[in-house]
Structures are given as C-alpha cells and as structure tokens.
Amino acid sequence: MQEHYGARFFGEREAAVYDDQLADMFDEAVVGPAVAMLADLAGQGAALEMGIGTGRIALPLAARGVRVHGIDASEAMVARLRGKSGAEAIDVTLGDFASTRVDGRFSLVYLVFNTIFNLITQDEQVACFQNAAAHLEIGGSFVVELTVPDLQAIPPGQNIAVIAVDARAMSFDVYDVVTQRLTSHHFVIGDGGMQSYPVEGRYAWPAELDLMARLAGLTLRGRWGGWKQEPFTSLSRSHVSVYEKS
C-alpha cells in the first residue's frame, strides 16, 4: 500500500490551520443534522469514525452520549483533537483506516466529508468497505458522506472544476477521467503570501460504492442528498449513503 494520505497531506502545517480554513464546516447548521442522524443510527451501541481528524463530528457525537472510537493516520490532526474539550471520552487509534483494526464491535461505522476519496486506489477503497464491515455488528450501519463528482460542470476536453474563489482563497479540482484520480488544489492568501494545500484522491460514483459494499457483505439501506434526508436526485451535489450488515 502506498504512503497514506495522513502522512502526505495532513501533517503539522495542514493541521495547524485545518479548523480555521474549514470554519464553515464546523457550524452547527452543518454539524447538527449529521450528528443527529449518526446518533440515531448508533442507538445504544458504539460508533467508529474512520478518518476522525480534529473531531468535527466525533466530539459533538460523543457529547450526545455515543461511545466513539476513531482511526486516523495523521498524528498532527489527532493531536489537535486531543487538545479539545471532551476528547478524553474518545479513544483514537493511529493507522490507515482502510486496514487498521480496533477491538470490539460497533453499531455504526462512518466516513464523512469525502474522506474515502483520500484512498487513492480502488483496491484501498474496497478494503475500506471490508474493514468497516469487519467492525460492524449484525444489523449495524456503515455511513458514507461524499460529493458527487462534478464532471457535468466541466466542458468537453477540459478537466478543471472551480470549487470557490474569493479575495482570500481559491480552490479547484483537477480530474483524470481515465484513472478517476482527483487533485484538489487549495490556495490561501495571507500576510506571508500564498500557501498551497493540495490533496490527492480517487473519486467514485454511487453505483461503484454500492458494488464495493456488496463485495464486503453490506446492503444499501438508503441514500439521501444530505444529512436532513433530502431526496437524492440527478441534480444532487452530494449524498449520504447508509449500508447495513445483514
């Protein structure tokens, strides 16, 4: 397996600014519906977050009374998590979430905010589904939140999609439609000049994820256009998919 994304793209430099640069994603309007749905799926059982990062979802989920364990390959990101209030209730294992195992069985395993795309090969993504299934108890749920690849917005012959541009930052994705590799470029302008924060990954369509789930012994229970369980349509820009171990 290649060097993991946690070591390549989420080191100390990135961890130091992660929460600030993604402040909108920490807003209660974003976090609240996700935590509510995940807490409902976890029930009285425990939850495992793959790619726990700085605890954006894990901390409020634990505050709801859910026992949360996390896996992450980035020591720097986990260090930020451990410095936050409430982190003492969360156990974290350092490692590649596609293959790292932890003790126990969980009623919920979840991956949010495009995290599975950080696994840069199909084999790693398949292994991730298998790892999630191995941690789940019978009847447990595996939840994946992902954007839908934005290829419809790209003119024929081009491979770049703009994410956002303002006076302080600009972000865009570069697609390779042959390999399904994706590089997200994030540039931030500050007093020290322009800083670049690239992240590489591999995008996958919902139907491909469903096949990965079947290979792991999981069945699609439901798919929505967001955490408020909006209908998933051909125009949806993201999806929340729930798979069940039966």
Q: Where are the domains of the chain?
A: 5-148+203-245, 150-202
> How far is residue 215's CA from residue 219's CA, in Å, rounded to a whole number?
10
Classified by CATH at the fold level, domain 5-148+203-245 comes out as Rossmann fold (3.40.50)
- What pTM value is reported for the model? 0.92
pLDDT band at 1 (very low <50, low <70, confident <90, very high): very low
pLDDT of residue 152: 80
Would you state the structure tokens that stand for residue 13, as one six-digit string? 């430099």
Contact 52, 72 (CB under 8 A): yes
Chain segment 2-61, per-residue pLDDT in tens: 444 445 568 888 888 888 888 899 999 999 999 999 999 999 999 999 999 999 999 999
DSSP 25-47: GGSHHHHHHHHHHHHHHHTTSEE
> How far is residue 48's CA from residue 71's CA, in Å, rounded to a whole number?
8
Between CA 200 and CA 208, with CA 205 as vertex, the angle to 5 degrees is: 110
**Residue range 126-148: average pLDDT?**
98
> How far is residue 123's CA from residue 167's CA, in Å, rounded to a whole number?
39
**Residue range 202-214: average pLDDT?**
97
> How far is residue 41's CA from residue 242's CA, in Å, rounded to a whole number?
9
Average pLDDT, the chain: 92
Positive or negative torsion for Cα 19, 153, 5, 99: positive
More confident residue, 114 or 185: 114
Beta pairing class for 199-202 and 193-196: unpaired
pLDDT of residue 8: 54
Dihedral over alpha carbons 35, 36, 37, 43 (to 10 degrees): 100
**Residue range 218-244: average pLDDT?**
97
CATH number of 150-202: 2.20.25
> How far is residue 75's CA from residue 85's CA, in Å, rounded to a whole number?
18
Q: Do domains 5-148+203-245 and 150-202 have the same CATH topology?
A: no
**Residue corresponding to tokens 């939140």:** 145
Would you state the structure tokens that stand for residue 142, as one six-digit string? 């595996």
Which secondary-structure segment (H or E) carries 107?
strand 106-111
- Closest CA relative to residue 241, chosen from 201, 215, 200, 213: 213
Chain segment 85-129, per-residue pLDDT in tens: 999 999 999 999 999 999 999 999 999 999 999 999 999 999 999
3-class secondary structure for 148-189?
CCCHHHCCCCCCEEEEEECCCEEEEEEEECCCCEEEEEEEEE
More confident residue, 243 or 156: 243
Would you state the structure tokens that stand for residue 237, as one six-digit string? 């820009």
> How far is residue 38's CA from residue 137's CA, in Å, rounded to a whole number?
16
pLDDT of residue 2: 41
pLDDT of residue 118: 93
More confident residue, 224 or 171: 224
